[in-house]
Amino acid sequence: MQGSMFRRACAATLLGTSAVLSAGGLTTSEPASAIGDTSRPLVTSQAGALSCPTASVCTAVGGPVDSAGATILRTTNSGSTWKPQSPPSGVLGLSAVSCPTVQFCLAAGGGSPEFVTATTSDGGATWQEKPGIGVDTWIDTVDCLSSTNCYAEGFGSGWAKGTSGLALLHTSDAGTSWSTLVFAAGGNGASSTTRPDLACPTARTCYLARPIGNESTFDVFRSSDGGKTGKAVLAKVAGVPNTPVGVACWTAAACMVIGADRGARVLVTTDGGSQWLSRPLPKEALDGIGVQCPSRRRCVVISTSHSGLVAVTTTNAGATWSTAAVAAFWPVVADAFVGLECPTAGSCQMLVQTSTPAVYSTSNGGGHWTKWPLP
């Protein structure tokens, strides 16, 4: 699906040598010197993703950045330094990655005639390409619960019975074979300027948020049987055009969805999606663009603001919030945000695509963020 590879555009640039933005006395800092050569960006308009199994270990993927193919980077010190890894020669672009353990990761991308995946079981020392499934698709999100059990979200054509649209893919053998569940024909996937999101809090339960129509509304689907069947638990929620939707869960029944009310609110369920409570974000947050819920009722939402990106955190499922600045840049472009990972209640890493791609990390629950440029 050639058009799907050009789904993200980015025009934001960081201001000055230090991205500092005060919010209630909370600031963002960065090292005095950049690390590595930033002339070859990790993520381009095609893709980009981040996964962190622990507070110190993260893997970032992207590409295709040039004829050399996909890019894979790994840090073992919370982002202060990064080392490149070698993807399989046949893998040209990677748009998603999930690392449930320090040793195992599954990365995915796509193109024509089928999507591609690659896995590592030794912390990235070696990567192996896995067979595709013969479907023209692009993978936006991967969520692995173990070194064998992984889910992915794919938008494409040629699914079973000739259907096309957004599908939930499942593997129980580390990507050697996949099953597919097409939630609904049509809709938008990676070919649009928005992107869907996937959260799988248990081995058999997944929630998938899907932008639809003119990208100003979205749906949320749930599968509770390992991707065999699914149903809509939210339908045609008013969202934000050209902005990603997001979902994160802390149990199989409790989740938070961002993007409602044109980005100003979150929706929270504690009963598997039967009922949703609407809660406003703080006034500093304009459009929620990323969410993670690392522990019970504790969630971190990344949002645009009038000055850049801010992180708003809650410990009571959105009843109250605290705000901290992350990065200041102008113009404020939601597409600068690529991904957020919070492996523990106190630590998060965020991948940002600007003229110099970087990871921002926090170790105190979002109160202070440090910028680490990528090589």
pTM for this entry: 0.83
Task: Say what the pLDDT of residue 56 is.
Answer: 95
Place of tokens 């940002």: 352
Please identify which residue in the block is written with the tokens 């050569």. Answer: 37
Asked if the 42-191 domain carries CATH number 2.120.10.10, the reply is yes
Residue with tokens 């619960």: 145
d(CA 49, CA 36): 19
User: In percent, how much of the chain has pLDDT > 70?
Assistant: 73
- Encode pLDDT of 25-78 as tens digits: 233 344 332 222 223 334 333 447 999 999 999 999 987 644 457 889 999 999
- Residue-wise pLDDT for 221-275, tens only, equals 999 999 889 888 988 777 665 556 789 999 999 999 997 766 678 999 999 999 9
Rounded to the nearest integer, the mean pLDDT of the chain is: 77
The dihedral through the CA atoms of 199, 272, 149, 102 has a sign that is positive
Tokens 């199994």: give the residue. 53
pLDDT of residue 118: 92
Answer whether 293's CB lies under 8 Å from 252's CB: no
**Closest CA relative to residue 134, chosen from 152, 160, 153, 104:** 160
In contact, 116 and 109? CB cutoff 8 Å? yes
- Tens digits of residue pLDDT in 332-346: 566 678 889 999 999
Contact between 325 and 27 (Cβ < 8 Å): yes
The C-alpha atoms of residue 185 and residue 159 are separated, in whole angstroms, by 10
